[in-house]
A and B are shown apart, each in its own frame.
Chain A
Amino acid sequence: MSPALSGIVFIASLIVTLAVVHRPLGDHMYRVYTGQRHLAVERLIYRLAGVRPEAGQRWSAYARAVLAFSAVSVLLLYGMQRLQDRLLLSLGMPPVPGHVAWNTAVSFVTNTNWQAYSGESTMGHLVQMAGLAVQNFVSAAVGMAVAIALVRGLAHRGKEELGNFWVDLVRGSIRILLPIAFAGALVLVAGGLVQNLAAPHEVTTLTGGTQAITGGPVASQEIIKELGTNGGGFYNANSAHPFENATGWTNWVEILAILLIPFALPRTFGRMVGDRRQGYAIVAIMATIAVVSVAVLTGLELAHGGTVPQAAGAAMEGKEARFGVANSATFAAATTLTSTGAVNSFHDSYTALGGMVTMFNMMLGEVAPGGVGSGLYGMLVLAVITVFVAGLMVGRTPEYLGKRIGAREIKLASLYFLVTPVLVLVGTALAMGSPEQRASMLNGGPHGLSEVLYAFTSASNNNGSAFGGLSAGTPWYDVALGLCMAFGRFLPIVFVLALAGSLARQDPVPVSAGTLPTHRPQFVGMVVGVTVILVALTFLPALALGPLAEGIR
Chain B
Amino acid sequence: MERLPGWVRRHLAALRALLVLTLVLGVVYPLAVTGIAQVLLNHQANGSPLFRDGHEVGSELIGQSFTGRDGAPAGKYFQSRPSAAGDGYDPLASGASNLGPEDVLDVLPRSGARPDTGRQSLLTRVCARSKAVGQLEGVGGGRPYCTVDGVGAVLKVFPVTGTPERVVSANQACPARPFLATYRGVAVECARPGEDLSAGRTVPVRGTAVAVVPADAVTASGSGLDPHISVAYAELQAPRVARERGLGVARVRELIGEHTTGRALGFMGEPVVDVLELNLALDRG
Contact = CB atoms under 8 A, between A and B. Distances in A.
Interface of A: 1, 3, 6, 9-10, 13, 41, 45, 48-51, 64-65, 68-69, 71-73, 76, 118, 120-121, 129-131, 133-134, 137-138, 166, 169-170, 173-174, 178, 181-182, 185-186, 189-198, 200, 203-209, 211-215, 217, 219-221, 235-237, 240-243, 246-249, 251-252, 305-324, 327-328, 343-346, 348-352, 355, 442-447, 450, 467-469, 550
Given A207-B68, A318-B96, A447-B100, A72 B77 contact: no
Given A138-B25, A240-B223, A318-B222, A323 B92 contact: no
A324 B89 CA distance: 19
Contacts of A205: 57-58, 64-65
A178 B33 CA distance: 11
24 contacts: A10-B267, A45-B21, A72-B14, A72-B18, A120-B91, A130-B22, A189-B44, A190-B44, A195-B33, A206-B57, A206-B279, A206-B280, A207-B64, A207-B65, A211-B91, A248-B270, A252-B264, A307-B101, A308-B122, A309-B101, A313-B211, A314-B219, A349-B96, A352-B100
Given A133-B30, A178-B25, A215-B46, A71 B220 contact: no
Contact of B30 (A138, A220, A446): A220
Nearest to A245: B223
Given A189-B45, A212-B91, A237-B224, A327 B60 contact: no
B99 to A, nearest CB: 6
Contacts of B14: 65, 68-69, 71-72
A445 B45 contact: no
Contacts of B101: 305-309, 315, 317, 349-352, 355, 447, 550
A192 B96 contact: no
Nearest to B15: A72
Contacts of A68: 7, 10-11, 13-14
B249 interface: no
A129 B30 CA distance: 7
A344 to B, nearest CB: 7
Contact of B221 (A169, A206, A306, A320): A320
A323 B224 contact: no
A211 B52 contact: no
Please list the 5 inter-chain residue pairs (A to B) with the smallest Cβ-Cβ separation, ordered nearest first.
Answer: A248-B269, A240-B222, A324-B270, A130-B26, A306-B101
A242 B226 contact: yes
Contacts of B179: none
Given A1-B263, A318-B220, A72 B11 contact: yes
Interface of B: 1, 7, 10-18, 20-22, 24-27, 29-30, 32-34, 36-38, 40-41, 44-49, 52, 55-62, 64-69, 74, 77, 81, 85, 89-105, 122-123, 126-127, 143-146, 152, 204, 206, 211, 214-216, 218-230, 261, 263-270, 272, 276, 279-280, 283
Contacts of A469: 98-100
Given A311-B143, A318-B221, 14 more contacts: A50-B13, A72-B18, A166-B17, A193-B44, A206-B64, A207-B67, A213-B58, A241-B94, A242-B227, A243-B62, A308-B100, A309-B101, A316-B215, A317-B97
Contacts of B17: 45, 49, 51, 69, 166, 169-170
Contacts of A313: 143, 211, 214-215
Contacts of B276: 206
Given A71-B11, A130-B26, A220-B33, A236 B46 contact: no
A309 B145 CA distance: 10
A192 B60 contact: yes
Nearest to B59: A213
Contacts of B20: 45, 48-49
A237 B264 contact: no
Contact of A186 (B33, B56, B227, B263): B33
Given A120-B94, A241-B225, A467-B98, A51 B44 contact: no
A493 to B, nearest CB: 15
B99 A321 contact: no
